[in-house]
Amino acid sequence: MTQALNQTLLARATAKLGPQASLALGLLILAVLLAMPLLHLLPADNALHVSAYGLTLVGKILCYAIVALALDLVWGYAGLLSLGHGLFFALGGYAMGMYLMRQSAGDGLPAFMSFLAWSELPWYWYGTSNFLWALCLVVLAPGLLALVFGFFAFRSRIKGVYFSIMTQALTFAGMLLFFRNETGFGGNNGFTNFRTILGFDITAPGTRAFLFFCTVLLLVGSLALGFALARSKFGRVLTALRDAENRLMFCGYDPRGYKLFIWVLSAVLCGLAGALYVPQVGIINPSEMSPTNSIEAAIWVALGGRGTLIGPLLGAGLVNGMKSWFTVAFPEYWLFALGALFIVITLFLPKGVIGLLRKEKDQ
């Protein structure tokens, strides 16, 4: 009896330690991320110096983690599997890229326009030399597109696999549009050769460190917003919408407004992530709209565990870390590895890595 009592007390202590340990681990990771831009400013011969490549790689993965979190809001909580979030990410990136290209061109036309013998800026480029207007475009471009698409899709009660196919078709159509030179977005090459942002050299260590710091803040803010929504009445309605939409409608709720709000919010978060991605990586082109990228984002969420918010961040880090290694060591095998990973998740990890960890904890 004493042994059984001790085991019970130990189990309770472990259960209490679980959230505390998770919080401590999260704070440790956050401290490391916040320290990285400071370590990047150290001299290159310092043992603690973080290289520009390392800072850019982690910054890129953090931008992808924001996309994974945004997708989890609509898939994990509202049950809407989007295969087109790459479009919203790219639109935010292009909006920021337009500002950066204007900064590089000065009073003239962007280089690709001069090469194509354009005589003046298209009307939709007006005002893009202003940073505040560029920020507005970062939010408005993906937000308005998501609003229009979502309004008609949810009004027609399109859901399930049909919704997924339509979002994939949307991003594919966007990719084909941006590939055309006459659209005024650089065609196949997109935007590159950025020089300054707000008057600062975009490749300077201080600028890189600041952009990385902004990415960390956006990730933390998005995560806090996600948890606040998930724990609110709105979040409970979303999960009810995911699990039993007809029953929710019977209770007097109109699911269209809830779907549209979380759909637009998710698109805006992707646009903000794209806007921070472009100045750190230094390029944006139509390949970011490829349906393959949106499918990869779904794999990030599935691997980490959808409906958990933390899980998709973990999935984005794991998959993109693997991708960085594979594309250097075995570039021709990456797509095969990605397909195998998807099969393994489907067969053995239906609740993702977070679900596996919780299962082991319960045992």
The mean-pLDDT minimum among 137-146, 214-223, 331-340 falls in: 331-340
pLDDT above 90 as % of the chain? 64
Question: Which of these, 52, 58, 35, lies nearest to 215 by C-alpha position?
Answer: 58
pLDDT surpassing 50 at residue 3: no
What's the confidence (pLDDT) of residue 14? 38
Per DSSP, the three-state class of 201 is strand
Please report where in the chains the tokens 């007006």 appear, as a residue: 126
pLDDT at position 7, please? 40
Beta bridge partners of 283: 192
Give the mean pLDDT of 312-333.
88
Which residue carries 């679900």 as its tokens? Answer: 355
What are the residues whose beta carbons fall under 8 Å from the beta carbon of 224, sequence distance 6 or more?
none
The C-alpha torsion from 88 through 90 and 92 to 98, rounded to 10°, is: -150
Residue 4 confidence class, pLDDT cut points 50, 70, 90: very low
208-210-191 Cα angle (round to 5)? 50
Amino acid letter, residue 30? L
d(CA 159, CA 156): 9
Residue 200: phi and psi, rounded to 5, are -100, 145
Residue 233 three-state SS: helix
Q: Is 118 helix (H, G, I), strand (E, B) or coil?
A: coil
Q: What angle do CA 196, 112, 116 make, to 5 degrees?
A: 160
- At residue 118, what are phi and psi to the nearest 5 degrees? -75, 145
Three-state DSSP class for residue 197: strand
Q: What is the pTM of this model?
A: 0.91
- Tell me the sheet residues that pair with 285: none
Average pLDDT of the chain to the nearest whole number: 88
Q: What is the pLDDT of residues 64-84, one digit of tens each?
A: 999 999 999 999 999 999 999
Phi, psi of 196, deg, nearest 5: -135, 155
What do you get for the CA distance between the two ends of the chain, in Å?
Answer: 21
Is residue 9 over pLDDT 50?
Answer: no
Tokens standing for residue 310: 């933390």
CA 33 from chain center: how many Å?
17
CB 95 within 8 A of CB 278: no
Residue 280 and residue 60 in contact, taking contact as beta carbons nearer than 8 Å:
yes
Res 264: pLDDT: 97
